[in-house]
Amino acid sequence: MNMGTTERTTEVAVMRELERDPKVCAAHIGVTARGGAIVLTGNVSTHAERLAAVIAAERVCGVRSVANEMEVRLRGASIGQDADIAETISRQLHWNTLVPETVEAEVQKGFVTLRGTVEWSYQRDEAERPINLIEGVYGVTNLITIEPSAKPGPTDTEH
C-alpha cells in the first residue's frame, strides 16, 4: 500500500469519527493527512466543538498528531459581546466551589485568558471546563499556576 492510499484511508477514518461524534458538526470541517499528522480546517460554531473535533481525530488509530486550524465562527446573529461573556464567566467562577477566588478571567474579542493560582491541578481544569461551553468564546488560554500549600518536610526528601 503506498503512502497516498494510507493517508486517504486515515482521512476517511477521521472524517467518519467526526461524523459519529454528537459534539461535532463535521459538515464544515476539512481533514487532510500528512505522514501520521492530521490537519483539521474549516469552521465550527463553538470553542467546545473545536476541542471535541481534535479529541475525535486523536481517537483514530494511526493519528500521531493533530494540527488544529479550525476557526470558531458563530452561526446566526448570536455573537456574544465581551461584557456578556465576562459576566457569564464571573458567575461561573463565583458559583463553582471547586475554583478558588484567586482565579480571574479577562475577555478580549471572544478570547478568554485565565490567570491566578490554585493548589491543585483539578482546580485549574475546573476553572476552564465551563468556559469552553460559553457561546461567543473563540478560545481559552489557561495561565493559572499551581502552587501547592504543603511543602515536603525533611523526612519526605530523605531516602
Residue 153 host element (H or E)? none
Strands (E), 2-147: 29-34, 37-44, 65-68, 71-72, 104-108, 111-115, 117-118, 139-142, 145-146
Half-sphere exposure of residue 42: CA atoms within 13 angstroms, side-chain side: 20
Instruction: For 26-44, write each residue's pLDDT tens digit.
Output: 999 999 998 879 999 999 9
Average pLDDT over residues 124-146: 91
pLDDT of residue 79: 53
First to last CA, the chain: 54
Model pLDDT for residues 49-83, shown as the tens digit of each residue: 999 999 999 999 989 999 999 998 876 545 558 89
% of the chain with per-residue pLDDT over 90: 67
Q: Average pLDDT for residues 105-133, to the nearest whole number?
A: 93
Residues in the chain: 159
CA 6 remoteness from chain centre: 28
**Predicted pLDDT of residue 133:** 85
User: Do 3-72 and 82-146 show the same overall fold?
Assistant: yes
Class of domain 82-146: alpha beta
User: pTM here?
Assistant: 0.67
* Residue 2 DSSP symbol: -
Band of residue 3 on the pLDDT scale cut at 50, 70, 90: low
- CB distance 72 to 102 below 8 Å: no
Question: 14 and 59 in contact (C-beta within 8 Å)?
Answer: no
Q: CATH number for the 3-72 domain, one of 3.40.228.10, 3.30.1340.30, 3.20.20.70, 3.10.290.10?
A: 3.30.1340.30
Which pLDDT band holds residue 109 (cuts at 50, 70, 90)? confident
For the chain, the structural domain boundaries read 3-72, 82-146
**pLDDT-based confidence at 158, cuts 50/70/90?**
low
